[in-house]
Amino acid sequence: MVTIVLTGQLQTADGERDLACDLSSPITVRQLIQRQGFQLRHLLQLLREKKVLVTINKKIASEDSLVQDGDAIRLVGHDGMGGSGLGPSHM
């Protein structure tokens, strides 16, 4: 089992912040998020925009890092300037 914790303003489509996922073989963080479907699909865009910090077992990781059974993934929204990265753009 893998746990995913969403922090800051990140949450699932249902407003949850913690998910537990069964995992039979190692996959990337991106694949794990894709596998959650509707619940986390909004995170895929934030990952592409580099607005999500990924950690695996409290170590900085990336969307391409491998996740294994027993890992704890934490996703933190940011904009690279100390903000959440989730609000409207001011450009």
Q: Is 20 helix (H, G, I), strand (E, B) or coil?
A: strand
> Residue 33 has what DSSP assignment?
H
Predicted confidence at residue 86, as pLDDT, reads 52
Q: Output the pTM of the full model.
A: 0.82
Tell me which CATH homologous superfamily contains domain 2-77.
Answer: Beta-grasp domain (3.10.20.30)
The backbone region for 87, taken as left when phi is positive above 0, alpha when psi lies in -120 to 50, beta otherwise, is: beta
Specify the higher pLDDT residue, 87 or 78.
Answer: 78
More confident residue, 48 or 80: 48
| pLDDT of residue 83 exceeding 70 | no
Mean pLDDT taken over the chain: 87
Look at residue 41 and tell me whether its pLDDT is greater than 90: no
Give the residue-averaged pLDDT of 37-60.
Answer: 92
